[in-house]
Structure 1
Amino acid sequence: MSKFRPLSATVFVSPQIAPADIAEAKAQGVTLVINNRPDGEEAGQVPGAEIEAAAKTLGLDCVAIPIASSFDAASVDAMRNALADNAGKTLAYCRSGTRSAHLWALAQARDGVPLDTVKQAGADAGYDLSRVDGLLGQLG
């Protein structure tokens, strides 16, 4: 079973991935990998550069939008832009997948997708996105 959890037909989120996971992502139609995890967050973490190199070797694009502790408008806009610019499927990852799911949810909400729809997609993927309302309010 894949550790990639679908939030939509074109977006998956995942806990930390390894370079070897990139081949599975490509086989599932992923064309863009988004790293939402800052390097050095914990010991033994795979550096983002290794994931990026593996992605590029297989012809996938890779973008880093690290979320250390809080979400901001610039990160949400970067996520919105990355998703809009990608014609294929996207895999976003962080330590557990939760920050990636929240960032996707905030991007969707800023694009006008109803919050109930966003939260249900998160729940269906195993993520509690009940904080999205409050996080949207903090973005201004």
Structure 2
Amino acid sequence: MNPATINPLTLPSLSLANRSTLPSCPAVYFVLEGDRVLYVGRSRNLRQRWVIHHRYKQLKAISNIRIAWLECSEPSLLAEIEAAMIRYFLPPLNGSAVTSPQITLLLDKSLKEKFKRVCSIRGMKMSEEIVRFIEKSVRENDDLLALVDKFGG
């Protein structure tokens, strides 16, 4: 694939605020600010990737952010396509540090290895998957938290 033939501005895209409606497809994605490519990434499941993205808070602070995507019918090519797009577009956020909360897990070695494999299959970092799980758990228990806050506990 020749990256020069790809124009991220003509690809399907959504605003960052509408990321929950992204398709659940394998894709290379482009984070755009106006007509500028800020970041290029890949995922076997684009919607799931953006449920909790390690750069979400950073990107949310910038106005006019869109996520454009190039669907990939062959997921085994995602890494190669992503690398070619990064080399071509030289997005400023790729390779830059992101501050994130530190999580230390004390797990049985076997469980940790299985979790690592699951994350790899899902195209997620372990820390991202843990944060996603914690955020989901908190969302699912908002009513319980509200009751505890109201009546004490």
Does the alignment reach a TM-score above 0.5?
no
Relative contact order, CA 8 A, sep 6+: which one is greater? 1
The alignment's TM-score, normalised by the length of structure 2, stands at 0.27
Higher alpha-carbon Rg? 2
